[in-house]
Amino acid sequence: MPWIVLAISGCLEVVWATALKASDGFTKPLYSVIVAVAAFVSFWLLAYAMKLLPLGTAYPVWVGIGAVGSFAVGIYAFGEAASPMRLASAALIVIGIAGFKLAEG
């Protein structure tokens, strides 16, 4: 259960990061509210997952989900570059997330 909560929390990190970009410096109220709500719920779920998972596992996995998810949204929604080096770097993050999960058992 804590891994599912952590995954949802990481996905919400992608939501608030994307909304932060779309808020145009908090000048668009709807996106600004989405940032606040998604960030609050994301942190709350992260805190819950940390009750059962080690800090050194939960936080890096949360950041990794957010980083790779935001990277993907940047490519698909905002037309950002998908160069081989950027894709390889994202793949390394995914490998790291898998490593934390496998090490946890």
The two tokens of residue 77 are: 């929604």
In the chain, where are the structural domains located? 2-104
pTM, two decimals, is 0.88
**In a structure prediction context, what are the per-residue pLDDT tens digits for the chain, which is 105 residues long?**
999 999 999 999 999 999 999 999 999 999 999 999 999 999 999 999 999 999 999 999 999 999 999 999 999 999 999 999 999 999 999 999 899 888 876
Closest CA to 100 of 68, 48, 65: 65
In degrees rounded to 5, what are phi and psi of residue 25? 70, 35
CA distance 83 to 101: 27
